[in-house]
Amino acid sequence: MNSKKKKILVAMSGGVDSSVAAALLLKDGYDVTGMYAVNYRPRILSTDNTDGECWIPDYRDAVRVAAKLGISLLRWDFTKEYKKFVLDYMYKEYSLGRTPNPDVLCNKFVKFGVWLDRAKKEGFEKLATGHYARLMAYDVGHMTLMMAKDENKDQTYFLHQLSQKQLSHVLFPLGDYTKPEVRKLAKKFDLPTAEKEESMGICFIGEVPMKEFLQTKIKTKPGNIVLSDGTVVGEHGGLAFYTMGQRHLGKLQDTSYKLQNTKPLFVVDKNIKKNQLIVGYENDPLLYKKQIRAVRVNWIRGKAPKFPLKCETRLRHRQPLQKSSILNLKSSFIIKFDKPQRAPTPGQFAVLYKNGECLGGGVVRQAHHKL
């Protein structure tokens, strides 16, 4: 890297990844400043039964890492922006019966939106994070988003909505490292977070199941649970609380149909108009789709590729890449898969790849089990 003492702001979450990202940039000669962002401030009961906020332990870890590295650590508050761009969107999508991915929206509008905007106003040339992804220049001032060396940790799925303008001011120092290598580096740098466990889930949910959390934000709207032939076998508490492919764990009130066996049932579809939750067995044809439509399309290079496009698609983080062909519909696109896909979920994102490059993607809106 050609540092030339460039001023870099490193988003430090208190985890091992962002800690190592800061250490690597410092080692490469950059003028590094840390920043901890407070995005949500719920009151929680901590393990020692004292009332607190869920971000405080991570902030303390970030403080310790910054002290170890000898850099300043800023603390910025983005709770209003996070509510506007992530939480309100999430509640709206769930209330419409869809299953959103808040991490994608957080990256687009918060981390590489308002965080980046403020960083630039404060005089920083780049914003660095601990994401596992790589950037490659393909023209002057233009970047491609490439999959990370560690394919298991690759986070390009969550970054696919970023623009050229955003990527031109971003650094991903961990793109050429595997997670085990990052752990070794953390120990080598003697960082306080070297042995810290990976953070799973979302801060504002904590240990509470998503359904239980959503029930405090979204009104319940009971409706029928039906089989694909329309037979009513029970009642649900609201389509918002179920997602495609989910194993149905609720009690079925079988009134007109005797289940032939005790095989588990899965959510295979939703009828939003009729407020019906459609369930079936693992091999139900409704669960497998050959074609989907995606909207709110973002092409990372700033322009659409040539169509029809042969590429690979990922419908969820860490899903193996699936061979597919893309047809362009201007404001949306159709993805036809070589093999049927289990439970494509409206509200989630379909992300496209070719030769290790993340091309972009869009929000899944419709899915069909036949071409």
Between 310 and 204, the more confident residue is: 310
The answer to whether residue 350 sits within a structural domain is: yes
The answer to whether residue 2 sits within a structural domain is: no
The whole-angstrom distance between residue 239's C-alpha and the CA centroid of its chain comes to 21
Q: Are residues 184 and 318 in the same domain?
A: no
Q: Which residue numbers are catalytic?
A: 106, 203
pLDDT at residue 368, rounded to an integer: 53
The whole-angstrom separation of Cα 315 and Cα 128 is 26
pTM beyond 0.85, yes or no: yes
Residue 46 scores a pLDDT above 80: no
End-to-end CA distance of the chain: 48
Summarize the confidence of residues 309-319 as an average pLDDT.
96
**What would the two tokens of residue 74 be?**
């800023």
**What would the two tokens of residue 154 be?**
């690759």
Q: Are residues 31 and 170 in the same domain?
A: yes
Of 342, 100, 319, 274, the residue nearest 202 (C-alpha): 100
What is the extent of the structural domain holding 142?
7-188
pLDDT at residue 217, rounded to an integer: 83
Q: Are residues 233 and 291 in the same domain?
A: no
Q: Are residues 258 and 290 in the same domain?
A: no
The answer to whether residue 129 sits within a structural domain is: yes
Residue 36 scores a pLDDT above 90: yes
Of 354, 371, 203, 239, the residue nearest 292 (C-alpha): 371
CB 345 within 8 A of CB 292: no
pLDDT, tens digit, 9 for 90 and up, residues 251-280: 565 544 445 556 789 999 999 999 999 999
Token match 């091309």: residue?
Answer: 359
pLDDT, tens digit, 9 for 90 and up, residues 202-240: 555 555 567 777 877 888 899 999 998 889 988 998 999
**Residue 318, domain CATH:** 2.40.30.10
Q: Which of 168, 188, 208 is the last residue of a domain?
A: 188
Would you call 348 exposed, middle or buried from its count of C-beta atoms within 10 A (0-12, 13-18, 19+)? buried
Q: Are residues 308 and 262 in the same domain?
A: no
Q: Are residues 173 and 279 in the same domain?
A: no
The answer to whether residue 124 sits within a structural domain is: yes
Listing DSSP states for 30-99 in one string gives -EEEEEEEE----EEE-TTS-EEETTHHHHHHHHHHHHHHT--EEEEE-HHHHIIIIIHHHHHHHHTT--
With bands split at pLDDT 50, 70 and 90, how would you rate the model's confidence at 331?
A: confident
Q: Which of 283, 314, 337 is the last residue of a domain?
A: 283
Q: Are residues 113 and 176 in the same domain?
A: yes
The answer to whether residue 95 sits within a structural domain is: yes
Residue 2 scores a pLDDT above 60: no
Count structural domains, the chain: 3
**Residue 113, domain CATH:** 3.40.50.620
CB 274 within 8 A of CB 232: no
Q: Are residues 332 and 306 in the same domain?
A: yes
The answer to whether residue 139 sits within a structural domain is: yes
Rg (CA), the chain: 22
Q: What percent of the chain has pLDDT over 90?
A: 71
Identify any residues that bridge with 126 across adjacent strands, giving them in sequence order: 8
Q: Are residues 237 and 323 in the same domain?
A: no
The answer to whether residue 262 sits within a structural domain is: yes
**Residue 254, domain CATH:** 2.30.30.280
The answer to whether residue 308 sits within a structural domain is: yes
The whole-angstrom distance between residue 137's C-alpha and the CA centroid of its chain comes to 24
